[in-house]
Amino acid sequence: MLEPLDLDFLGLPRAIGVYLVDTTDGPALFDCGPMTTLPRLKEALRERGLELEDIRHLLLSHIHFDHAGAAGAIVREHPSLRVWVSEVGAPHLVDPSRLEDSARRLYGDDFDRLWGELLPVPEENIETAAGDVLGWETFPAPGHASHHVCYVRDGTLLAGDAAGVRILPSTYVLPVSPPPDIDVEAWHSTIDQIRRRRPERLALIHYGVVTDVDGHLDRLGSELDRWAELVRTGVDADEFAAAAREGTGAEDELYAAVVPYEQSWQGLRRYWVKRSELTT
């Protein structure tokens, strides 16, 4: 049964979950979380009778720290691990310094508490996630990030953030939209690509396995357009956050912890500025 390994990010259940999956070359992890949750990842694997060294492959959706931050540390402990990532994202795993510098400006003093140390992944450990990857069909899934990919096999789509954030059992789907390369049109194209593959379930990192796929994708597309229009028409960050939180219900605090709303406002504002379509 497919279920997330809860990494208890910041002590919060259902904030970040990664997945243990089968491949044609043994067990793999779909995403790995940040360095700060690596001890919990090892614990979760042991609960399933595995050690980190038993994992042969790491399938990354994209290189944001909540999904891939621990990759370098894992390879340091487990040098035979193969790390699959998009061609666009690979250089930033090999040399994460620019990514880290940018993130430290964004997160300030919270960076180390949230993400911990970033270590490079040796180039010889990296494989390009494209086409057939160990029995999983891999395809580009831009929109949330230019370096995002998804993996699909036997009705399961490993979605990363391409299918948004939904803290099950909530029905609210949140289109997390951080800078620098959120692209609304590309994200709608990715939603279409997901639909074309007719998955029966979506494995979300934030958080859980979705089985009402069509309704979920409908809500993702609608909310993405609502968020984008809010920012295009000039609402400020506080107004945006208030409007964005309207659907979160009982899970409001957890959604806010996983997805800082100001960052999505910044990402969408950057998108409209690049297109010269910001109204104010």
Helix (H) or strand (E) holding 5: strand 5-6
pLDDT number for residue 44: 97
Give the three-state DSSP class for 45. helix
pLDDT range class, residue 277, cuts 50, 70, 90: low
Token pair 């074309």 in the structure block, residue: 196
Pairing of strands 57-59, 26-30: parallel
Confidence check: pLDDT of 172 > 90: yes
Task: Please choose, from the candidates 13, 124, 9, the residue with its C-alpha nearest in 3D space to the C-alpha of residue 69.
Answer: 9
pLDDT number for residue 259: 87
Whole-number mean pLDDT of the chain? 95
**Mean pLDDT, residues 239-265 taken together:** 92
Distance CA 245, CA 14 (A): 18
Distance CA 72, CA 90 (A): 12
**For 68-121, what is each residue's pLDDT tens digit?**
999 999 999 999 999 999 999 999 999 999 888 888 887 888 899 999 989 999
* Length reported for the chain: 280
Q: Evaluate whether 186 touches 143 at the Cβ level (below 8 Å).
A: yes
Comparing 120 with 249, the larger pLDDT belongs to 120
pLDDT number for residue 99: 86
CA 128 to chain centre: 18
**For 201-245, what is each residue's pLDDT tens digit?**
999 999 999 999 999 999 999 999 999 999 999 999 999 999 999
**Mean pLDDT, residues 26-40 taken together:** 97
pLDDT range class, residue 247, cuts 50, 70, 90: confident
pLDDT range class, residue 181, cuts 50, 70, 90: confident
Tokens representing 253 are 């605090």
Q: Domain residues of the chain, as ranges?
A: 5-274
The correct answer on CATH 3.40.50.1820 for the domain covering 5-274 is no
Q: Evaluate whether 121 touches 75 at the Cβ level (below 8 Å).
A: yes
% the chain with pLDDT above 70: 99
Task: Please choose, from the candidates 119, 215, 237, the residue with its C-alpha nearest in 3D space to the C-alpha of residue 163.
Answer: 215
Distance CA 271, CA 274 (A): 5
